[in-house]
Amino acid sequence: MDHPALELVELGAVFFCLGLLGRLAGKIGMSPIPLYLLGGLAFGRGGLFPLGDIDEFTSLAGEVGVVLLLLLLGLEYTAAELLTGLRRSWLAGLLDVVLNAAPGAAVALILGWGPVGALVMAGVTYISSSGIVAKVLGELGRLGNRETPVVLSILVFEDLVMALYLPILAALLIGVSFLGGLAAVGISLTVITLVLVIALRYGRFVSAIVDSPDREVFLLKVFGAALLVAGFASAMQVSAAVGAFLLGIAISGSTAENATKMLEPLRDLFAAVFFVVFGLNTDPRTIPPVLLYAALLAAVTALTKIATGWWAAHWQGIGRLGRARAGAALVARGEFSIVIAGLAVSYAAVPEDLAALATAYVLIMAVLGPIAARFVEPLARRLQRTRSAQPQPDSIMAP
């Protein structure tokens, strides 16, 4: 079989298998991310059916997947909503950083991966999966609950932290000096501030530039603008993902709604390829040695996320049941954790074991998160009933 024909066969097999895995995930009520990662492990180095002829396409498609993931995340927010969320959740957001970044950094240092590895793993364990959280809240009918704005404000804060974190990480991964790192942070802050100002004051003009009544023209303009901005952002040492996220913020109103509807199928397609690519680049034989660390991290960071959501909801005056739901909703990790680990692996600046640990960790947390969100309410209600049924001290001592 000639080379182009073999590439088409392999790509067709990958996409078809992704479709089957996505359908299976829907049937059993879980996120497809763990299954996509497992699919990548099966098709990659050391897997059951290694592929060797589609690396160039899948690598570029994976980059496009990251851009679309962040673009659509940005389309969900306006600049005003971001600022409101920041004012509402900054204290809980700081607690979130401390509680959930520290375990990943500590494990990386214990394993001897150095400061850069610690920074990478801190990001992997810190950031919740906005996609999984939003999907689970919608499926469970909790979008109108009192605790949901608290959950969303923490997610917004995490997105803003990522807008600063990713440029710093990228600068360290390419080995720039301390002054170079400060320059990257300065550029990132300047760009973020500029985009927020443009989005607040001139967002309608940005929307008008990309808008079009013709669906084909509209899709080409939005998609092309996202790739252009991502490319220029990457050239300025501001992460391409952050550039796409900021473009999404600048687009607002009906334009943002139409762009979301049109780009969702493309995002799902390329994002699936991104997760597969990460799995392709991870040798499954490297996972068993770090599986215990992944399970330990999963247990600790599930509890720290629950503590974060509980405290944030308590601060807003929400009852115990709402606090428990808020904490459990934040447990899931997913796309952003893989984006961070993938960025580190692409620069070959971290040990291969880090990719294996991140993969195993996300596999566990992407499954555990929806389960925790689904069962926390009946468990909390049962505990409340048990506590109320217990005799009170006064009644025991009464004659």
CB 38 within 8 A of CB 278: no
Q: Which of 61-70, 124-133, 307-316, 377-386 has the lowest mean pLDDT?
A: 377-386
Q: Which residues contact 360 (CB under 8 A, 6 or more apart)?
A: 287, 290, 291, 294
The model's confidence at residue 396, banded by pLDDT at 50, 70 and 90, is very low
CB 277 within 8 A of CB 40: yes
What are the tokens at 160?
């803003």
What are the tokens at 211?
């808008």
In this predicted structure, what is the pLDDT of residue 82?
67
Q: Vertex 120, ends 180 and 368: CA angle to 5°?
A: 155
Decide if 262 is inside a domain: yes
Decide if 42 is inside a domain: no
Decide if 394 is inside a domain: no
Q: Which of 19-33, 88-102, 316-330 has the lowest mean pLDDT?
A: 19-33
CB 68 within 8 A of CB 274: no
Decide if 41 is inside a domain: no
| DSSP state string for 152-176 | HHHHHHHHHHHHHHHHHHHHHHTT-
Decide if 51 is inside a domain: no
Q: How many domains does the chain have?
A: 1
Name the range with the highest mean pLDDT among 84-93, 135-144, 299-308.
299-308
Q: Burial level of 175, CB count in 10 A (0-12/13-18/19+)?
A: exposed
Cα separation values, 96 from 122, 130, 146, 290, Å: 12, 15, 20, 25
Q: How far apart (Å, rounded) are the C-alpha atoms in residues 269 and 61?
A: 9
pTM of the model: 0.74
Which of 19, 18, 13, 17 shows the shortest CA–CA distance to 1? 13
What are the tokens at 241?
């993902």
Cα separation values, 258 from 220, 223, 341, Å: 13, 13, 32
What is the Rg, in whole angstroms, of the alpha carbon atoms belonging to the chain?
A: 22
Decide if 395 is inside a domain: no
pLDDT above 70 (res 155): yes
Decide if 127 is inside a domain: yes
Which of 272, 245, 288 shows the shortest CA–CA distance to 335? 272
CATH no. for residue 194?
Answer: 1.20.1530.20
Residues 56-113 have pLDDT tens digits of 677 788 778 878 877 887 787 776 766 776 677 788 889 999 999 999 999 999 999 8
> Between the CA atoms of 128, 131, 137 and 140, what dihedral angle is there, to the nearest 10 degrees?
-120
In this predicted structure, what is the pLDDT of residue 16?
87
Decide if 49 is inside a domain: no
Full domain range(s) for residue 285: 58-382
